[in-house]
Amino acid sequence: MKFNALALRRSTWAVATFGLLATACDQSGDVVAPPAASTARQALSIQVSDASLANGQLVAVAIASGSTSTLGGVQGYLRFDATRLRYRGQQRDAGSNQVLLLNTSAVSRGELRLAVLDPDGMTRSATIVFEVLGGGYASTLSFDVEEAVRNGSPVALVTADVAPTAVVNRSLAASSDARTLTVRDWADLLARENVSALRDPGEIRNGLKFGDTNFDGNLTLTDAVYMINVSIGLNEMIIGSDGTGPLGDRDAVVAGNVFPFNAPGLGEAGDALAPGVEANGSRVVSLGDGVAIINESVLIDQPVVGEIIPGRPTTPVSNRIIVSTNVTTNTTWTNTNIYELQGGITVTNGATLTIQPGTQIEGQRGTGPGVGGAALFVARDGRIIADGTPLQPIVMTCVGTPTARFKGCWGGITVLGNASLNDGALTSPVIAGRAALGGCREKAAEGNAGNYGGCNDDDDSGIIRYVRVEYAGFRFTATNELNGLALNGVGRGTIVDFVQVHAGLDDGIEMFGGTVNLKHLVLTANSDDSFDYTEGWNGKTQFVIVQHDPLDSDKGFENDNYEFAHDATPRATPIVYNVTMVGKPDPASTAGTPNNNSVGAFNIRRGTRPKYFNFLVMNFPFALDIDDDATCVNFGTEFELKNSIFAANLALNASDSGDPAGCGGSEENAINLVGSNNQVTVTSPLLSALNVMVPDFRPSFGTATGAATPPSDGFFDVTATYIGAVPVATATKSVIPWYSGWTRGWQNTTTP
């Protein structure tokens, strides 16, 4: 039988969330009231077909809510004594529109996570079949409710009470052919639509609606069922990349995460609390999302669901504005235009360039400084406010359709600030409003970007948030290069948060001195080093993901104090927490660009003494290369590498000559420093970090022990007491990781 959404219109629906917290916070920290909770309650019970069957016989179990129930769905944990009952499968009632989804990952220890969705009102769930292994089995059954759903409109929040003991219902029957219905089974049963191939689920698509998880323009029961699959851990949040597989391409993050509604906004810029943000500030895929979507599919209007997602206009943005002169007055670039940069464009003369969320900027190849294509430079007297949103990231890319050789198509973005360096002449100028003092170190930036450096470590160059920089960077010579994002002498007053640099020709991100702090970085497929610093950078960083191009990437982290004077001051002593670094599927492979095919994870040298905690480093030819005696002074206190996991690397030690004695005489000794709490494992602890199309960087169960607690200094998130850039995947898989929905993957499995 196939479900027909039109036949369900007679039902009325509403969603209920069990146990919401009292308040919610938006990203700025403002307190926002959650939806008002209902005082309604729903009684539930556990029913069994028989309470005294002999060993080897089959017993049917169901969750019941009464003969006149208006319950639309329930989600929770069915628990039992695994020494008395063995799970055998589930049964679908003929002619029923009910969907029963089961997560059996913990069944061996007596736990089934389930979700029931019933547009006709659930009097009882479909049956779950067990084999009896021992007497007294009925008394061991219990059901812990996570969420409950009742019909009606608008939405209502309800609490479900479960009777403490199971009751016998002899009308239940257990069949020997019971089995778990898989995602493919449900796809067939629910008349899956043919979906077109879409490269990057979660990215901007014209006309995409909230609730349309498979991008076909319609909201149906299949969209709701997919969301319920995700909510109990049966599906990943973003799946597919080419329209294949049992469900094609699906997106639970942008399109599917609709509840709570948090009206009146839809997540556009300025919305105090976007749809899908829970009362505690997290984003979670839950039963409420699925029920809200099915409400809309049967023509019961819901807030948010069915509305166009901000940044997804029905008419593609086609108006193109050519930018060929510097920005010298306050200027705003809007998301109704595409801005094509021709040449090196500098924001200067005290001007601020404001870029609206969802705006696309494209650099023209071959029109910029030298042969490096266009570039965007922010001078010491200029500012940039590029403040995107999770639904509307700002995209800075290249003109034209990406090809296999698109790296370095344009020159990227360089920000020049007034903070301190450990190199350069003592000639920095006074700049009104930016640098009250002069006479500190300054120097000319690479790529003809302009001068940087000064006396103001609190300098504010603006905001770069929810921004993607693609196919940028250029290499004029070995010592004169443009990067995806270069931060030169940038001060700690600048905000750099939620930034992806993808497929750059040189480094992903590089700091040349300064004090800028960084958070939530995704550095993918960059040709040279992913995270690079020099000239005395002294900032803080938390939450970094590095994923190499196996055929064309150098180091994950390449870190210097200063190349030509290893003890130059201020010394580079940054503090970094919570990093995930991923090399290549086969660390022993020599395919790709010689000496640039994902060479290694760390190269720490030239006198820098960083403090690194909670790193997860996997699949590199070598994990660590430490060079130069000045680097290892006070190793373990001034230079720290602790509370980290090194997994599936070909070697820990770079095995080069001249290892500093101060670090134990070899990199392997350094990693295994006594008291560092570092762990070395043989297998990857991540779910699917080597997938370049739709990666999952979350650790699997039980791999994040031994983490350090970040400092409570107003910058670090002290709750990130785990190893790596994202938390361990829970049994639910329903908490949306911070990188999901606004970042992008490769064009295909061979082309970034």
- pLDDT for res 168: 96
- pLDDT for res 610: 97
Pick the range with the lowest mean pLDDT from 71-80, 244-253, 584-593, 732-741: 244-253
pLDDT digits (tens, 9 = 90+) for 479-503: 788 999 999 999 999 999 999 999 9
The token pair at 241 is: 């990349």
Average pLDDT of span 451-477:
94
**Cα(620)–Cα(331) distance, integer angstroms:** 44
Confidence of residue 242 (pLDDT cuts 50, 70, 90): very low
Q: Which run of H or E residues covers position 322?
A: strand 320-323
DSSP string, 135-180: TTGGGG-EEEEEEEEE--SS----EEEE-SS-EE-TT----TT-B-
What does residue 168 show for φ and ψ, rounded to 5 degrees? -90, 130
- pLDDT for res 194: 28
* Mean pLDDT taken over the chain: 85
Instruction: For the chain, give the percent of residues with pLDDT over 90.
Output: 55
The token pair at 155 is: 């939405």
Instruction: For the chain, give the percent of residues with pLDDT over 70.
Output: 85
Closest CA to 448 of 511, 374, 515: 374
CB 462 within 8 A of CB 427: no
* Burial state string for 307-335 with b = 16 or more CB within 10 A and e = fewer than 16: bebbbbbeeebeeeeebeebbeeeeebeb
Report field, pTM of the whole predicted structure over 0.75: yes
**Cα(94)–Cα(643) distance, integer angstroms:** 54
pLDDT digits (tens, 9 = 90+) for 583-636: 999 999 999 988 899 999 999 999 999 999 999 999 999 999 999 999 999 888
pLDDT digits (tens, 9 = 90+) for 692-716: 888 889 887 655 578 999 999 999 9
Residue 585, preceding bond cis, omega within 30 degrees?
A: no
DSSP string, 478-547: TTEEE-SEEEES--TTSEEEEEEEES-SS-SEEEESS--EEEEEEEES-SS-SEEEESS---EEEEEEEE
pLDDT digits (tens, 9 = 90+) for 350-367: 999 999 999 999 999 865
- pLDDT for res 552: 95
DSSP string, 103-141: E-TTGGGTEEEEEEE-TT--SBPPPEEEEE-STTGGGG-
- pLDDT for res 93: 75
CB 554 within 8 A of CB 596: yes
- Sheet with 99-103: strands ordered across: 99-103, 111-117, 71-79, 142-150
Residue 495 β-bridge partners: 463, 517
What does residue 227 show for φ and ψ, rounded to 5 degrees? -65, -40
Confidence of residue 462 (pLDDT cuts 50, 70, 90): very high
| pLDDT for 197 beyond 60 | no
| Residue written as token pair 């070697």 | 651
**Cα(646)–Cα(643) distance, integer angstroms:** 10
Average pLDDT of span 223-235:
77
- pLDDT for res 199: 33
Average pLDDT of span 409-424:
96
Closest CA to 381 of 334, 427, 327, 448: 327
**Cα(497)–Cα(518) distance, integer angstroms:** 6
Average pLDDT of span 455-462:
98
- pLDDT for res 337: 95
| pLDDT for 258 beyond 90 | yes
Higher pLDDT, 95 or 750: 750
pLDDT digits (tens, 9 = 90+) for 112-130: 988 887 767 788 999 999 9
- pLDDT for res 69: 63
- pLDDT for res 292: 86
pLDDT digits (tens, 9 = 90+) for 284-330: 888 788 878 877 876 778 899 999 998 887 788 889 999 999 999 99
Average pLDDT of span 176-200:
53
- Cα→Cα distances 530→127, 483, 488, 500, 593, Å: 52, 10, 16, 11, 16
Using alpha carbons only, give the angle 456, 459, 462 rounded to the nearest 5 degrees.
Answer: 165
Higher pLDDT, 521 or 150: 521
